[in-house]
Structure 1
Amino acid sequence: MPAAFPAPHTPRRTVLRGLGVGAAALAGAGALGACSSREAVEGDAAAASGDGDGAGAGAGFTLTDQRGKKTAFDGPVRRIATAIIPSPSMIAAVDGSYDRLVGINESTLQANKEGIFGTLFPTSRKTATIAGSDFVPNVETIAGLKPDVVIQWGDMGDEVIAPLENAGFKVIGLTYGTQEMMETWIRIFGTLLGKQDRSTEILDWMHDEDAAVRELVAPYAKKKQKVLYLRTASDGWTTATGSDYVTHWTGIAGGVNVAHDVSADAPQVSVEQILAWDPEVILLSAFDEAEPAGVYGNKKLADVRAVRERRVYKVPLGGYRWDPPCCESPLMWRWAAQVLHPELATRNGLRARVKDTFDRLYGYRISAAETDEVLRTKLNTKSAGYAGFRA
């Protein structure tokens, strides 16, 4: 079993009830619930502090968000509404519970209904929605939820954040996209929840995993494989550039993003460009329904090396999608390392690490069948080397 940060404090074991196997759809929940249990984590007494003003649990603190704005709180928050899609899974990981979340994005709710997060935390399937894909908040709905704080994008302009502040809500503005920004989120959530020790444990684990994966792939440093990330667009594909988190985890895994020098954000990618890049590995976004089988069947891509060698893979979906920054990102680093270097399977121990991570982050004992769903073993079954991810 891999080393990891300590489990949440004072756990009590419960058995999930009433969790049927529903349709997997985009998020791929598959055969869920039958063989697993989770720990419902009770609150701990970790100190709450923001900018050095806070003291123990229940004490007030001042927090500076990623806009540089300071907000004062009387103590750890109890009710959180968030319009930001990735934040609920990270809040739940830091808190060891979903209990404080009262409002979420419509896209998050849909993913919760379709994916394993709704099994980890059943109440997440029926949480009120406070914003849609445009992130414009429904102030009336939020007012009815009586949140202690509202979490919103801090870099999308007044349209999404001013209505909240004008209505008198305490608002934390966040930015996203890099490892450093994600780590700042974890610290902020630790402060809001009064669980700084827990957030520090998660960050220490991430740093240890970063070093471990880099060491794992070090023997392959002289030959970095060319990786292309594809996300379905209305008229084709888009990809990730050098400023995207994809480039970060591709590098950790011992590869190179073929689009790292492209300047546009989420640029369109033509068949001609894919042929010119001739990637050795193609990774398909967890945000859409594209599957390796569709790429293998595309005659226009038949001459691409990754297609010829059957090295097209669907990115996993755990408590959150693994492509962008999240608390499960160390699993993405290991998954990508094994995709690029299948011979690492026995040393990587990814399935054991998935089990350990879900237990540590969410207090949930993930089953073998659920692990298969997270790792997309069915979708990736005909891709080279994927037998190494199976039970």
Structure 2
Amino acid sequence: MASNSIKNKSWMSVKEVGLIHFFVVLCVIISLAVGCAQKGESGAAASQVRATDARGVEIVLPRHAERVVVLFEPFVDEMYMLGAGDKLVGIPQQVYQNSSSYYYLSQLDPRIAKKSIATPTFGGRSTHVEKVISLQADLAIVYEYDIETIAQLEGLDIPVFVVSSKDKAHIYDELINVGKLIGKKERAEDIVNYVNNAIEKIGSEVETVKKSVYYGWSKGRVFSTSGRGSLVDLAIQVAGAVNACPLEMEAPNVSAESIYKWNPDMIVLWNSDVEDVYRLAELAALPAVVNKQVFAMEPTFFFDPHTVKFLLFAKQLRHWGYQDYTTDQDFKDALQEIVDFLYEKKMSIE
């Protein structure tokens, strides 16, 4: 009996040891599984890229975007400045319709020349959402006023980065934040630093008398202008001049009487012809018109104030107003140097 009791106790001990061993192994397996899961989550989090858009919304991508749809024409241009034109799978139809943009971007990308990059837009800013979906984009870059498009794309789980280009700070921030999302952050920072240094150099050349400049909108809309706080106002200030329009408005429509009252030293046009001003009987007696101080930014591609090329706009305006280069060729050489940096490629400004 004693012997059987000892054997029974010994058997129970073995059973208990077995159970303990089982639970120990189970705990180790669970710990390893949890550890691997946490490591996987940590690895996934480490590979994520984050950036904040014009709305203050944080966009989070699992990795750098490789397929990008841009629905705001000026940012197509900036994608090429970032050296990321190859990531474009969709662009606005206007890129092909705008002869200046089409000509110069064709020099940067044979797909533009062949018009082979998809255009998921109808015209203006109307977007064919189904076509955007078919492009399997990792990221869509959309103008802030395209509210319906933004809502539709985000409702379909397509990451949307919203741009405004409303002032210098936004142009810089949007360039750098898109750079983060597409793996071009360092290049974006280099561009911003370059432009800032150029602006500081212009600012060091202080004029005792600031010339006043009236800006006439594109497509011959001479009586539409850009007020204080606008992008054109920014370029005028960078040039060392002052905006003749004193109104704190983005795009006011004004009368001939107002322009006579402001009496600008110069009239500057973008995507318009000087004859759009000279043929107006209402402005025939305006001193700037009489003195042939009406200028048009040509070619328009290089002077788009919605991008960091507001620097080129400012330099051209300054040269017209203050003749800070000895000859026109010296000025063109200076512009060419900036263009070569912005596109990292020789592209004639003629």
Task: State if a TM-score over 0.5 links the two structures.
Answer: yes
Distance in 2 between residues matched to 1:168 and 1:225, nearest whole Å: 50
Q: What letter corresponds to residue 146 of structure 1 in structure 2?
A: Q
Distance in 1 between residues matched to 2:269 and 2:53, nearest whole Å: 33
Any gaps of 5 or more consecutive residues in structure 2? Answer: 1-43
The equivalent residue for 1:66 is 54
The equivalent residue for 1:142 is 132
Distance in 2 between residues matched to 1:108 and 1:246, nearest whole Å: 21
The equivalent residue for 1:306 is 288
The equivalent residue for 1:268 is 253
Report if aligned partners of 2:220, 2:273 keep a CA contact under 8 Å in 1.
no
Larger helix proportion, structure 1 or 2? 2
In structure 2, the residue corresponding to 1:71 is in which secondary structure? strand
Q: Does 1:123 align with 2:108?
A: no
TM superposition shift of 1:298: 3.0
Report if aligned partners of 2:53, 2:174 keep a CA contact under 8 Å in 1.
no
Q: For 1:6-85, list aligned pairs within 5 A.
A: 59-85=47-73
The equivalent residue for 2:155 is 166
TM superposition shift of 1:71: 2.3
Q: Does 1:324 align with 2:305?
A: yes
In structure 1, the residue corresponding to 2:236 is in which secondary structure? helix
Distance in 1 between residues matched to 2:282 and 2:221, nearest whole Å: 15
The equivalent residue for 1:341 is 322
Q: What letter corresponds to residue 179 of structure 2 in structure 1?
A: G
Any gaps of 5 or more consecutive residues in structure 1? Answer: 1-52, 373-391
Q: Does 1:277 align with 2:259?
A: no
Report if aligned partners of 2:228, 2:250 keep a CA contact under 8 Å in 1.
no
In structure 2, the residue corresponding to 1:239 is in which secondary structure? coil
In structure 1, the residue corresponding to 2:91 is in which secondary structure? strand
TM superposition shift of 1:64: 2.1
Correspondent of 2:237 among 244, 251, 255: 251
CA RMSD of aligned residues (A): 2.5
TM superposition shift of 1:242: 0.4
In structure 1, the residue corresponding to 2:127 is in which secondary structure? coil
Distance in 1 between residues matched to 2:335 and 2:62, nearest whole Å: 37
The equivalent residue for 1:363 is 344
The equivalent residue for 2:89 is 102
Distance in 2 between residues matched to 1:360 and 1:263, nearest whole Å: 34
In structure 2, the residue corresponding to 1:108 is in which secondary structure? helix
TM superposition shift of 1:92: 1.1
Q: For 1:152-231, list aligned pairs within 5 A.
A: 152-157=142-147, 159-216=148-205, 218=206, 220=207, 222-231=208-217
How many residues of Structure 1 are paired with residues of Structure 2 in the alignment? 304
Once the two structures are superposed, residues 301-350 of structure 1 have per-residue CA deviations (whole angstroms, 9 ceiling, x without a partner) of: 221111111111112346x4524231323222211111111253459943
Gap change, CA 1:74 and 1:350, over 3 Å in 2: farther
Distance in 2 between residues matched to 1:194 and 1:114, nearest whole Å: 26
Gap change, CA 1:353 and 1:75, over 3 Å in 2: farther
Distance in 2 between residues matched to 1:100 and 1:81, nearest whole Å: 9
Q: Does 1:87 align with 2:68?
A: no
Once the two structures are superposed, residues 8-37 of structure 1 have per-residue CA deviations (whole angstroms, 9 ceiling, x without a partner) of: xxxxxxxxxxxxxxxxxxxxxxxxxxxxxx
Q: What letter corresponds to residue 234 of structure 2 in structure 1?
A: H
The equivalent residue for 1:111 is 98
Q: Which protein has the larger Cα radius of gyration, Structure 1 or Structure 2?
A: 2
TM superposition shift of 1:280: 0.8
Distance in 2 between residues matched to 1:284 and 1:299, nearest whole Å: 18
TM-score computed with the length of structure 2 as normaliser:
0.79
Distance in 2 between residues matched to 1:316 and 1:179, nearest whole Å: 22
TM superposition shift of 1:300: 2.7
Distance in 2 between residues matched to 1:82 and 1:133, nearest whole Å: 14
TM superposition shift of 1:70: 2.1
Identify which range, 334-343 or 198-207, moves more after superposition.
334-343
TM-score computed with the length of structure 1 as normaliser:
0.71
Q: What letter corresponds to residue 86 of structure 2 in structure 1?
A: D
Report if aligned partners of 2:54, 2:164 keep a CA contact under 8 Å in 1.
yes
Report if aligned partners of 2:256, 2:282 keep a CA contact under 8 Å in 1.
yes
Identify which range, 320-329 or 336-345, moves more after superposition.
320-329
In structure 2, the residue corresponding to 1:365 is in which secondary structure? coil
Gap change, CA 1:133 and 1:257, over 3 Å in 2: farther
Distance in 2 between residues matched to 1:153 and 1:195, nearest whole Å: 20
Distance in 2 between residues matched to 1:345 and 1:257, nearest whole Å: 25
Identify which range, 96-105 or 267-276, moves more after superposition.
267-276
TM superposition shift of 1:282: 0.2
Identify which range, 338-347 or 206-215, moves more after superposition.
338-347
Report if aligned partners of 1:80, 1:147 keep a CA contact under 8 Å in 2.
yes
Report if aligned partners of 1:79, 1:148 keep a CA contact under 8 Å in 2.
yes
TM superposition shift of 1:215: 1.6
Gap change, CA 1:317 and 1:279, over 3 Å in 2: same
Q: Quick one: percent identity of the two aligned structures?
A: 23
Q: What letter corresponds to residue 59 of structure 2 in structure 1?
A: T
